[in-house]
Amino acid sequence: MDRIHDWTVDVVNLWGCTIVERRAIFGCFSGLVTCDPGNINYILKTNFSNFPKGDDFKETLDIFGDSLIMDSPSWNDHRSLTRRALMSNLSRNVIAGTSKKVVQDSLIPFLDHVAKNSLVIDLQDMFLRYTFDTSFSVLFGRSANYLSTDLLPNELAQALDDAMEALFYRNVMPNACWKLCRRLMIGSERKMNKAWKTIDRYLEMHIKAKREDMIKGIAETSSLCEGDMRNLIQKENDEVLIHDDKFVRDGAMSFFIGANDTTGTALTWFFWLVAKNRNVEAKILEELKLIAFSKKNFQEKEKGPKTPLVFDIDDLKDAIHLHASICESLRLYPPIPHNRRTSLEKDVLPDGTIIDPGMMIVISMYAAGRMKHVWGEDCLEFKPERWINENGKLNHETMSKFFGFSIGPRSCLGQEMAFVMMKLAASAMILNFHVEVLVDQIIKPKPSIVLKMKNGLMVRVEERVLHVE
């Protein structure tokens, strides 16, 4: 269990990309595991309707309620509202503006403090604080101030982390075991119970405050939560939803996990890989310097640039090396390493594998990014250039093999937001600071439904001096 993600890679390398097990492995699993691109495309997109998440999935991840990640009667409502919220020009501006503000007002000052005081910090903890503050501000229009030089604890953030740990054990234990633990209130289920109560208490408080602000007309800033509420009010047939904050609570819960843990984790793996490959960092830095020195808010060449500089998201539209490096990092370390489905009817996958009705299917996104026959003999190497074609543009053929944000009707609606948050943080950090990873650390994934580093990532930070050439 301690190396379950890499163990999955070992198994599929030994037995093939699709493995059917009609007996329980160690008493924990009976079903199918696949990382074959054709099968993944078929299950998640082509024949999507035959592969729902299933009742067992809903029971295991019950803390998410009837949110868009579930197969529930309100799934389409949640997804429709989320798509409308995330894809509107207003919401895009809110996301981009909020992300830049958190980078400018919290992330950069924090790193400046660390550099000037020669401190050693856990980069993963810092990024999770950054993404929590950004997600919270985007969702509720208020600042959580979780990322500060004091590094104060946050009860809601800790509760979300404890809940995710408990959910992992539910996914790898036989159902009867975790349900017995839940009944007896022992082990991870005791932690889950406490975390759930804390999460509900905080979300209820913030949703109530946002609703009161809207009624009084004193909302501080536009937010996704406010947008959801307004959209609900406009739907005449949803009277129950209008008065029941559970609908908004469930959406907020899935948003926090989708925008917070996954993006913070992705940034951590990205910086670790970049720190190990200084040639990649040099290419990104040169790209960012070209963009930076062309900005109007820079002084004349002889006076030097104003630092630290924080980019607007529009500045980074041509930062190909940055985008390619993020994609390559997501290929090797997808924030959600496994996806789970259940078959409704008998079916045959593109590789000829026969699917029985009711079979549990585990899709290993982690293994899918590490297959030699898909990515080449150098599949374990960090090579952002595999995402760039001969014309210096993004390679769409490579993108077609990438499932980091899933595909089909349940593809991640927050993909654009995730790239905005990652690009704004990464560009500002690489341009203004040099990050040095401490040696002799044990870097490995944590057993979790979100691919966090088990021991964090300890680093030193130095201010970077930019020179105009």
Model confidence over 12-39: pLDDT tens digits? 888 889 988 765 544 455 689 999 999 9
C-beta separation of 449 from 57 below 8 A: no
C-beta separation of 421 from 434 below 8 A: no
Sheet of 18-25, strands arranged across = 18-25, 29-34, 360-364, 338-342
Q: For 306-362, write each residue's pLDDT tens digit.
A: 568 899 999 999 899 999 999 999 999 999 998 889 999 999 999 999 999 989 899
User: Which band of pLDDT confidence, cut at 50, 70 and 90, is reported for residue 252?
Assistant: confident
Residue 302: what pLDDT?
A: 43
Residue 45: what pLDDT?
A: 93
Continuous segment of H or E residues that includes residue 342: strand 338-342
* Residue predicted with more confidence, 394 or 213: 394
Cα separations in angstroms, 246 against 54, 207, 227, 242, 305: 21, 10, 16, 10, 49
Continuous segment of H or E residues that includes residue 399: helix 396-399
User: Which band of pLDDT confidence, cut at 50, 70 and 90, is reported for residue 288?
Assistant: very high
Residue 78: what pLDDT?
A: 64
In sequence order, what are the residues at sequence separation of 6 or more whose Cβ sits closer than 8 angstroms to the Cβ of residue 197? none
In sequence order, what are the residues at sequence separation of 6 or more whose Cβ sits closer than 8 angstroms to the Cβ of residue 444? 3, 6, 453, 454, 455
Mean pLDDT calculated for residue range 192-221: 81
Mean pLDDT calculated for residue range 453-467: 90
> Does residue 370 register a pLDDT over 70?
yes
Peptide bond into 384 cis (omega under 30): no
User: Which band of pLDDT confidence, cut at 50, 70 and 90, is reported for residue 222?
Assistant: low
C-beta separation of 432 from 424 below 8 A: no
Q: For 50-63, write each residue's pLDDT tens digit.
A: 999 888 888 888 89
Closest CA to 188 of 455, 451, 449: 449
Distance between CA atoms of 127 and 263, rounded to whole angstroms? 8
Distance between CA atoms of 120 and 459, rounded to whole angstroms? 6
Q: Identify how many contiguous H helices and E strands the chain contains and give both numbers.
A: 20, 9
N-to-C CA span, the chain: 52
Maximum average pLDDT range among 103-117, 129-143, 210-224, 356-370: 103-117
* Residue predicted with more confidence, 439 or 401: 439
Q: Which residues of 35-67 are buried (b: 16+ CB within 10 A; e: fewer)?
A: bbbebbbbbbeebeebbbbbeebbebbebbbbb
* Residue predicted with more confidence, 169 or 67: 169
Structure-block tokens of residue 129: 């604080």
Residue 277, Cβ neighbours under 10 Å: how many?
Answer: 17
C-beta separation of 360 from 382 below 8 A: no
C-beta separation of 368 from 374 below 8 A: yes
Distance between CA atoms of 79 and 81, rounded to whole angstroms? 5
User: Is the whole-model pTM more than 0.95?
Assistant: no
Residue 241: what pLDDT?
A: 43
C-beta separation of 339 from 51 below 8 A: no
Residue 26: what pLDDT?
A: 45
Residue 172: what pLDDT?
A: 79
Cα separations in angstroms, 299 against 108, 293, 455: 20, 9, 42
> Does residue 299 register a pLDDT over 60?
no
Residues linked to residue 364 through DSSP beta bridges, in sequence order: 338
In sequence order, what E strands does 87-231 have? 120-122
Instruction: Write a three-state SS string for 309-330.
Output: CCCCHHHHCCCHHHHHHHHHHH
Structure-block tokens of residue 340: 């789970």
> Does residue 447 register a pLDDT over 60?
yes
Residue 305: what pLDDT?
A: 52
Q: What is the mean pLDDT of the chain?
A: 85
Q: At what angle do helices 246-256 and 188-216 cross, to 10 degrees?
A: 120
> Does residue 421 register a pLDDT over 90?
yes
> Does residue 240 register a pLDDT over 60?
no
Distance between CA atoms of 75 and 81, rounded to whole angstroms? 10
Residue 238: what pLDDT?
A: 43
Q: For 268-287, write each residue's pLDDT tens digit.
A: 999 999 999 999 999 999 99
Mean pLDDT calculated for residue range 414-435: 94
Structure-block tokens of residue 363: 């899709």
